[in-house]
């Protein structure tokens, strides 16, 4: 049977993968299969809940079968004496994600690198190692797509748009909404209430307006604000006021965003195109682009050929999670949502997990069964 062979291939292929990662200095991490659920729900969001195999222990605490490795490996690293120092881990094992059709158990291998200050070199190493390991396990040729969430974030910042527009654009793009649709919506989304007050406050002395709204809230005796501070509420309320009569995102900036997102193809050519775009529009993207070019150099040094990869400016994977380099590798005929390898840099994660200072982190996961999907099918 094809599937049976496929599974056997996956098992032995996984071992080959792991051996290569361990030999490259990535120590094997073996987090327990049963994990506290809270960390996954906190970090991956409630959408994950529908895919978790959840259970409760006798004390009522929520547990789950591990749906992935990065979080447990990160948590274990932070709890260890190595926390904050450079450390590299590999893993291999089952992950569990519910799906309505078929088994919810998948074999996943992967690698994580924490605490390295030479980010571009670490990025290139993760990409190179994961591709090498997959090739050793018999992956055949893979199509590699690369992107840069840090570059995109810096580009958005450089546009100097109002904060709520920025949030709207980020959220929209993260959900695959087209730019036109995003700009159609207004952050004030046409709600009429308070419009008179907002109009009156608009253009008023900022501090005075702020004091007024804060006073009104305190007169109303409102102290419980559900975890948001009165000044936060006031600030956003006034921000809405200033956006209300504003022209939205000016056309030239809209065009610029569209132009930026349209850049794709050969990574070196793309870098040149982005430099030109930045200098034409007088935006300072040099730090992010220097880092981008440096990363390409490190890839070449690791024996990779950037020209064989496809860069896409709009490819950022999950913008709320990834902070820099991102990549995916697909089998030639695979569906876009079924990469064999997916990874990237996530410098914010360890901080949100409780690290005292920011710890750089980059890693990749390999869906071992997908390596053998078409071989066995």
The residues of the shown chain that bind another protein, judged by CB under 8 A, are: 41-42, 45-47, 49-50, 100, 163-164, 167-168, 170-172, 174-175, 185, 187, 189, 191, 193-194, 213, 217, 220, 222, 224-228, 230, 232-233, 236-237, 240, 320, 348, 351-352
72 touches 83 (CB < 8 A): no
Q: Which is nearer to another protein, 157 or 268 (CB)?
A: 157
CB 315 within 8 A of CB 327: no
Residue with tokens 């794709």: 264
Cβ neighbours for 4, distance < 8 A, ≥ 6 positions apart: none
- With respect to another protein, which residue has the nearer C-beta, 41 or 261? 41
For residues 86 and 166, which CB has a smaller minimum distance to another protein in the complex? 166
Nearer Cβ to another protein, position 28 or 171?
Answer: 171
Nearer Cβ to another protein (16/186): 186
Give buried/exposed letters for 148-163 (b at 16+ CB in 10 A, else e).
Answer: bbbbbbbbbebbebbe
Q: Residue 137 CB, nearest distance to another protein (Å)?
A: 34
Residue 118: both structure tokens together: 């030479």
For tokens 């959840």, name the residue.
54
Least CB distance to another protein at residue 163 (A)? 8
Pick between residue 192 and residue 333 the one whose CB is nearest to another protein: 192
Please, is 319 exposed, middle or buried when counting C-beta atoms within 10 Å of its C-beta (0-12, 13-18, 19+)? middle
- C-alpha dist (Å) from residue 115 to 257, 295, 331, 346, 360: 33, 17, 31, 11, 5
Smallest separation, CB 171 to another protein (Å): 6
Task: Report residue 178 as tokens.
Answer: 């087209």
């Amino acid at each position: 049977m094809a599937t049976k062979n496929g599974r056997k291939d996956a098992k032995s292929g996984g071992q080959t993968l792991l051996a290569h990662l361990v030999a490259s200095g990535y120590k094997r991490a073996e987090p327990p299969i049963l994990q506290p659920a809270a960390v996954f729900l906190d970090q991956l969001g409630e959408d994950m809940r529908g895919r978790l195999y959840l259970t409760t222990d006798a004390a009522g605490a929520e547990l789950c079968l591990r749906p992935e490795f990065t979080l447990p490996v990160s948590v274990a690293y932070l709890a260890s004496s190595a926390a904050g120092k450079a450390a590299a881990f590999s893993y291999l094992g089952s992950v569990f994600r519910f799906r309505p059709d078929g088994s919810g158990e998948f074999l996943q291998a992967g690698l994580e690198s924490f605490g390295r200050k030479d980010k571009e070199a670490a990025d290139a190493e993760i990409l190179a190692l994961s591709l090498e390991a997959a090739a050793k396990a018999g992956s055949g040729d893979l199509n590699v797509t690369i992107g840069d969430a840090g570059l995109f974030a810096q580009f958005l910042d450089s546009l100097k748009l109002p904060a709520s527009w920025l949030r709207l654009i980020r959220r929209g793009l993260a959900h695959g909404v087209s730019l036109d649709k995003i700009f159609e919506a207004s952050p004030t989304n046409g709600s009429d209430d308070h419009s008179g007050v907002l109009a009156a406050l608009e253009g008023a002395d900022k501090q005075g307006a702020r004091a007024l709204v804060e006073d009104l809230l305190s007169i109303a005796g409102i102290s419980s604000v559900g975890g948001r501070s009165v000044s936060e509420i006031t600030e956003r309320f006034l921000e809405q006021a200033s956006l209300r009569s504003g022209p939205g995102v000016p056309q030239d900036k809209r065009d610029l965003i569209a132009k930026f997102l349209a850049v794709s193809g050969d990574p070196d050519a793309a870098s040149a195109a982005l430099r030109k775009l930045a200098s034409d529009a007088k935006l300072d993207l040099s730090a992010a682009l220097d880092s981008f070019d440096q990363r390409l150099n490190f890839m070449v040094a690791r024996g990779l050929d950037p020209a064989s990869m496809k860069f896409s400016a709009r490819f950022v994977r999950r913008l709320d999670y990834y902070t820099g380099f991102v990549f995916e590798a697909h089998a030639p005929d695979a569906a876009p949502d079924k990469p064999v390898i997916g990874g990237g840099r996530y410098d914010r994660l360890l901080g949100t997990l409780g690290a005292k200072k920011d710890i750089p982190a980059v890693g990749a996961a390999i869906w071992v069964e997908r390596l053998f999907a078409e071989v066995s099918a």
